[in-house]
Structure 1
Amino acid sequence: MNHKRRSWRILLGLVLCLMGVYGGHQLIDRAEAEPLQPPSQSDTPSPLEVVMLLVAGLLGVGGTAYGVRQLRREGQLLREGVPVLGTLTHVTQDRESSHRILIYRFEDETGVVREGSYETSPVALLEDYEAGQAVTVLYDPTDPRINMVDEDHVRRAEARVRGP
């Protein structure tokens, strides 16, 4: 997994956090009236401005935490996950973004056939994914429900050695 492609969630979260902090700072500065001038109506922040900045800040913190969690999970699967060959059962294009949704099946070590879904990065549009295509799937040996497609083919050779 190329983590640079996945770091957009963290970047967006940090931008939202900065917007919240900067906007909050601006509201505080506006609310402080200079001693020689009476406060005007435009100097006091509206409740809508305060709520919008709080929402931006909270979304930023949440987005950053989610992005970090996803990167850690994917990194752990790349290092410690069990690579197996899986089969794509369905490929759809997300209309709102340039991501593809891959639905796939794979068999874990115990012989249970599992199904998973994976959202590709925008760069993965260069690769043609089709239903029926073999892909490398990495799953957590302690919980096979945690899995992902190895879209950068980091551990493809290990999966082929294992066989279907």
Structure 2
Amino acid sequence: MGNYVSYYLHNQSQQEDSSIEVFMKGGACKEVFTAFQDCAKKAEKNNESIGIKCYPMMEKCMLAHSEYYYPILEAEKNATEVMIKDFLPSTAGRDLTEGKEDAEVEEEAKRILAVMEGGGCKEAFKAYLDCSDEAEKKKEETSAKCSQQMSKLVRCMHANPEHFQFIRAGEEQMRRELESL
């Protein structure tokens, strides 16, 4: 969800005196937020993923000062849960890194792959997978190497909401929570 939080923060902070900007600058991460805004503008200009390139520094600071930034961190967590529940109902509330997948989870994984490979973003998805495979073979950091491919995939998914409604559900949940700050 970092991509969506970062895009939301960037888009809202573009508006003069937005409530999110006032909130972000009201805590200990004021300087990091300013650096995030600068990074986001450059990433956008260079067609790179704001979430991959810029959000990690913002997230690290917010986690270090979670008592203040709790509403944003909680909104991100809730949005992720909504997105997962909407698209992968059997995985909601589960740690998938725990090992064995049951038949239902495997079916849902196939569903994701079918949507990604057959939807309106199959070329962007394939480009990201190819880049990711190449990075893995060369033992490179995927997020850094494939930033542009991920950015194109995210933009494509936003442009084709009929295939990616599960993302919209998560984003809508996050937007509602953050607007209540």
Larger Rg: 1
Question: Which structure: greater helix fraction?
Answer: 2
**Larger relative strand fraction:** 1
TM-score (norm: length of structure 1) = 0.26
What is the TM-score of this pair, normalised by structure 2? 0.25
- Which of 1 and 2 has higher RCO (CA within 8 Å, sep 6+)? 2
